[in-house]
Chain A
Amino acid sequence: EAGVAQSPRYKIIEKRQSVAFWCNPISGHATLYWYQQILGQGPKLLIQFQNNGVVDDSQLPKDRFSAERLKGVDSTLKIQPAKLEDSAVYLCASSTGLQETQYFGPGTRLLVL
Protein backbone atom coordinates (compact mmCIF):
# COMPACT_ATOMS: atom_id res chain seq x y z
CA GLU A 1 0.00 0.00 0.00
CA ALA A 2 1.40 3.40 -0.97
CA GLY A 3 2.04 5.81 1.87
CA VAL A 4 1.29 9.50 2.22
CA ALA A 5 3.03 11.48 -0.52
CA GLN A 6 4.23 15.03 -0.12
CA SER A 7 5.97 17.49 -2.41
CA PRO A 8 8.25 19.25 -2.61
CA ARG A 9 10.62 17.68 -0.08
CA TYR A 10 12.62 20.87 0.36
CA LYS A 11 11.91 24.52 -0.33
CA ILE A 12 13.93 27.66 0.25
CA ILE A 13 12.24 31.04 -0.14
CA GLU A 14 12.76 34.61 0.98
CA LYS A 15 10.51 36.25 3.52
CA ARG A 16 7.36 37.80 2.11
CA GLN A 17 7.30 35.26 -0.74
CA SER A 18 4.54 32.69 -1.05
CA VAL A 19 4.85 28.92 -1.06
CA ALA A 20 2.55 25.92 -1.47
CA PHE A 21 2.84 22.34 -0.33
CA TRP A 22 0.97 19.37 -1.72
CA CYS A 23 -0.19 16.18 -0.01
CA ASN A 24 -1.72 12.99 -1.41
CA PRO A 25 -3.09 10.82 1.42
CA ILE A 26 -3.34 7.06 1.53
CA SER A 27 -6.12 5.88 -0.73
CA GLY A 28 -9.45 5.69 1.07
CA HIS A 29 -8.38 7.79 4.03
CA ALA A 30 -11.13 10.28 4.82
CA THR A 31 -9.22 12.33 7.37
CA LEU A 32 -6.22 14.49 6.46
CA TYR A 33 -4.02 16.54 8.76
CA TRP A 34 -1.37 19.23 8.32
CA TYR A 35 1.21 19.69 11.06
CA GLN A 36 4.03 22.18 11.56
CA GLN A 37 7.16 20.81 13.24
CA ILE A 38 9.66 23.45 14.31
CA LEU A 39 13.18 22.19 15.04
CA GLY A 40 13.37 20.72 18.54
CA GLN A 41 9.60 20.59 19.03
CA GLY A 42 6.83 18.12 18.53
CA PRO A 43 4.43 18.47 15.61
CA LYS A 44 1.69 21.06 16.03
CA LEU A 45 -1.65 20.49 14.34
CA LEU A 46 -2.50 23.27 11.89
CA ILE A 47 -5.65 21.94 10.26
CA GLN A 48 -7.66 18.75 10.12
CA PHE A 49 -10.07 17.76 7.32
CA GLN A 50 -12.78 15.14 7.31
CA ASN A 51 -13.35 14.50 3.58
CA ASN A 52 -13.43 18.06 2.21
CA GLY A 53 -14.71 19.71 5.38
CA VAL A 54 -12.59 21.38 8.06
CA VAL A 55 -12.84 19.75 11.49
CA ASP A 56 -10.28 21.88 13.33
CA ASP A 57 -8.22 24.86 12.21
CA SER A 58 -7.89 26.58 15.56
CA GLN A 59 -4.08 26.74 15.37
CA LEU A 60 -3.83 27.81 11.74
CA PRO A 61 -2.55 31.42 11.38
CA LYS A 62 -5.32 32.39 9.03
CA ASP A 63 -3.86 35.78 8.15
CA ARG A 64 -1.13 34.01 6.16
CA PHE A 65 -1.87 30.29 6.02
CA SER A 66 -4.60 28.62 4.00
CA ALA A 67 -5.41 25.03 3.17
CA GLU A 68 -7.90 23.28 0.98
CA ARG A 69 -9.03 19.78 0.13
CA LEU A 70 -11.50 20.48 -2.62
CA LYS A 71 -12.34 16.95 -3.78
CA GLY A 72 -11.77 15.23 -0.47
CA VAL A 73 -8.51 13.62 -1.61
CA ASP A 74 -5.40 15.74 -2.26
CA SER A 75 -4.70 18.81 -0.20
CA THR A 76 -2.60 21.94 -0.52
CA LEU A 77 -1.24 24.16 2.23
CA LYS A 78 -0.23 27.70 1.31
CA ILE A 79 1.72 30.37 3.11
CA GLN A 80 1.43 33.95 1.86
CA PRO A 81 3.47 35.92 2.79
CA ALA A 82 6.07 33.80 4.55
CA LYS A 83 7.89 34.93 7.67
CA LEU A 84 11.22 33.79 9.07
CA GLU A 85 9.44 31.94 11.89
CA ASP A 86 7.62 29.75 9.36
CA SER A 87 10.86 27.82 8.82
CA ALA A 88 9.87 24.29 9.81
CA VAL A 89 8.98 20.86 8.51
CA TYR A 90 5.39 20.62 7.32
CA LEU A 91 3.98 17.16 7.82
CA CYS A 92 0.88 15.72 6.22
CA ALA A 93 -0.88 12.73 7.74
CA SER A 94 -4.00 10.75 6.96
CA SER A 95 -6.27 8.25 8.68
CA THR A 96 -9.40 6.28 7.87
CA GLY A 97 -11.35 8.30 10.42
CA LEU A 98 -11.09 10.83 13.20
CA GLN A 99 -10.48 8.15 15.83
CA GLU A 100 -7.99 6.10 13.86
CA THR A 101 -4.22 5.94 13.66
CA GLN A 102 -2.55 8.69 11.65
CA TYR A 103 0.05 7.81 9.02
CA PHE A 104 2.57 10.48 8.15
CA GLY A 105 4.27 11.53 4.97
CA PRO A 106 7.99 12.36 4.78
CA GLY A 107 7.38 16.08 5.23
CA THR A 108 8.40 19.25 3.42
CA ARG A 109 11.33 21.13 4.93
CA LEU A 110 10.84 24.90 4.49
CA LEU A 111 13.58 27.45 5.02
CA VAL A 112 12.61 31.12 4.95
CA LEU A 113 15.54 33.51 4.51
Chain B
Amino acid sequence: AQSVAQPEDQVNVAEGNPLTVKCTYSVSGNPYLFWYVQYPNRGLQFLLKYITGDNLVKGSYGFEAEFNKSQTSFHLKKPSALVSDSALYFCAVRDPVGGGFKTIFGAGTRLFVKA
Protein backbone atom coordinates (compact mmCIF):
# COMPACT_ATOMS: atom_id res chain seq x y z
CA ALA B 1 0.00 0.00 0.00
CA GLN B 2 1.16 3.49 -0.74
CA SER B 3 2.17 5.78 2.11
CA VAL B 4 3.90 9.06 2.83
CA ALA B 5 5.92 9.98 5.90
CA GLN B 6 6.94 13.41 7.06
CA PRO B 7 9.15 12.55 10.04
CA GLU B 8 9.28 16.05 11.53
CA ASP B 9 6.19 17.69 13.01
CA GLN B 10 8.01 21.02 13.10
CA VAL B 11 11.12 22.57 11.59
CA ASN B 12 12.66 25.75 12.97
CA VAL B 13 15.11 27.81 10.96
CA ALA B 14 16.52 31.33 11.10
CA GLU B 15 15.77 33.73 8.29
CA GLY B 16 18.46 33.59 5.63
CA ASN B 17 19.49 30.03 6.48
CA PRO B 18 18.78 27.08 4.22
CA LEU B 19 15.79 24.93 5.02
CA THR B 20 14.90 21.29 4.44
CA VAL B 21 11.54 19.63 5.01
CA LYS B 22 11.75 15.86 4.76
CA CYS B 23 9.45 13.41 2.99
CA THR B 24 9.73 9.69 2.33
CA TYR B 25 7.25 7.55 0.44
CA SER B 26 6.24 4.02 -0.42
CA VAL B 27 4.45 3.11 -3.65
CA SER B 28 4.21 0.07 -5.86
CA GLY B 29 4.95 1.85 -9.11
CA ASN B 30 6.85 4.94 -10.21
CA PRO B 31 5.57 7.75 -8.00
CA TYR B 32 4.12 11.12 -8.82
CA LEU B 33 5.35 13.37 -5.97
CA PHE B 34 4.02 16.76 -4.89
CA TRP B 35 4.60 19.47 -2.31
CA TYR B 36 1.84 21.77 -1.15
CA VAL B 37 1.86 24.67 1.33
CA GLN B 38 -1.03 25.71 3.55
CA TYR B 39 -1.36 29.12 5.15
CA PRO B 40 -3.83 29.70 8.02
CA ASN B 41 -7.49 29.57 6.97
CA ARG B 42 -6.57 28.91 3.37
CA GLY B 43 -6.58 25.92 1.10
CA LEU B 44 -3.50 24.08 -0.10
CA GLN B 45 -1.31 25.79 -2.66
CA PHE B 46 0.73 23.79 -5.14
CA LEU B 47 4.51 24.30 -4.89
CA LEU B 48 6.09 21.73 -7.19
CA LYS B 49 5.89 18.20 -8.54
CA TYR B 50 8.04 15.38 -9.83
CA ILE B 51 6.75 12.94 -12.40
CA THR B 52 9.77 12.06 -14.49
CA GLY B 53 13.03 13.54 -15.71
CA ASP B 54 15.57 15.60 -13.76
CA ASN B 55 15.71 14.58 -10.11
CA LEU B 56 15.95 18.22 -8.99
CA VAL B 57 12.65 20.00 -9.42
CA LYS B 58 12.24 23.74 -9.08
CA GLY B 59 8.95 25.27 -7.99
CA SER B 60 7.22 28.37 -6.72
CA TYR B 61 8.67 30.93 -4.29
CA GLY B 62 12.25 29.67 -4.69
CA PHE B 63 11.53 26.17 -3.41
CA GLU B 64 13.03 23.05 -4.92
CA ALA B 65 12.90 19.35 -4.19
CA GLU B 66 15.15 16.44 -4.93
CA PHE B 67 13.81 13.05 -5.92
CA ASN B 68 15.96 10.20 -4.62
CA LYS B 69 14.71 6.84 -5.85
CA SER B 70 17.13 4.68 -3.85
CA GLN B 71 16.18 6.42 -0.59
CA THR B 72 12.52 6.84 -1.63
CA SER B 73 12.71 10.46 -0.56
CA PHE B 74 11.50 13.78 -1.92
CA HIS B 75 12.83 16.46 0.44
CA LEU B 76 11.79 20.08 0.03
CA LYS B 77 14.54 22.66 0.14
CA LYS B 78 15.16 26.38 -0.10
CA PRO B 79 18.60 28.02 -0.04
CA SER B 80 17.57 31.05 2.04
CA ALA B 81 14.44 31.02 4.23
CA LEU B 82 12.09 33.97 4.61
CA VAL B 83 9.82 34.74 7.56
CA SER B 84 6.93 34.60 5.09
CA ASP B 85 7.76 30.94 4.38
CA SER B 86 6.35 30.05 7.80
CA ALA B 87 3.43 27.73 7.07
CA LEU B 88 2.33 24.10 7.02
CA TYR B 89 3.90 21.96 4.30
CA PHE B 90 2.46 18.74 2.93
CA CYS B 91 4.11 16.08 0.82
CA ALA B 92 1.83 13.95 -1.35
CA VAL B 93 2.25 10.89 -3.53
CA ARG B 94 0.12 9.52 -6.33
CA ASP B 95 0.50 5.94 -7.38
CA PRO B 96 -0.26 5.44 -11.09
CA VAL B 97 -0.54 1.66 -10.63
CA GLY B 98 -4.19 0.70 -10.70
CA GLY B 99 -5.22 3.69 -12.80
CA GLY B 100 -6.88 5.71 -10.09
CA PHE B 101 -3.95 7.99 -9.31
CA LYS B 102 -5.25 8.21 -5.77
CA THR B 103 -3.40 10.86 -3.77
CA ILE B 104 -2.04 10.20 -0.29
CA PHE B 105 -0.90 13.15 1.83
CA GLY B 106 1.61 13.17 4.64
CA ALA B 107 0.64 14.51 8.04
CA GLY B 108 2.36 17.82 7.41
CA THR B 109 5.38 19.66 8.76
CA ARG B 110 5.05 23.08 10.32
CA LEU B 111 7.87 25.41 9.34
CA PHE B 112 8.80 28.32 11.59
CA VAL B 113 11.23 30.88 10.23
CA LYS B 114 12.53 33.30 12.86
CA ALA B 115 13.66 36.79 11.99
A→B interface (CB under 8 Å): 4, 33, 40-45, 48, 55-56, 58, 91, 93, 98-99, 101-107
Contacts and interface: CB of A to CB of B under 8 A. Distances in A.
Interface of B: 4, 32, 34, 36, 41-46, 49, 51, 90, 92, 94, 96, 99-108
B100 A104 contact: no
Contact of A45 (B4, B34, B44, B103): B103
A102 B101 CA distance: 11
Contacts of B43: 4, 91, 93, 104-107
A103 B43 CA distance: 9
Given A42-B90, A43-B90, A101 B100 contact: no
Given A42-B107, A43-B90, A101 B46 contact: yes
Nearest to B6: A42
Contacts of A48: 100, 102
Given A42-B105, A99-B101, A106 B42 contact: yes
A44 B96 CA distance: 18
B53 to A, nearest CB: 15
A98 B100 contact: yes
Contact of A43 (B32, B45, B99, B105): B105
A63 B99 CA distance: 26
Given A42-B90, A43-B44, A91-B43, A102 B103 contact: yes
Interface centre among A43, A98, A99, A103 (most CB of B within 10 A): A43
B63 to A, nearest CB: 15
Nearest to B103: A45
Nearest to A104: B43
* Top 9 A-B pairs, shortest CB-CB distance: A42-B105, A104-B43, A104-B44, A98-B101, A106-B43, A56-B100, A43-B105, A42-B107, A107-B43
Nearest to A55: B100
16 contacts: A33-B103, A41-B108, A42-B90, A42-B107, A43-B105, A44-B105, A56-B102, A91-B43, A91-B44, A93-B43, A99-B32, A99-B101, A101-B49, A103-B46, A104-B36, A106-B41
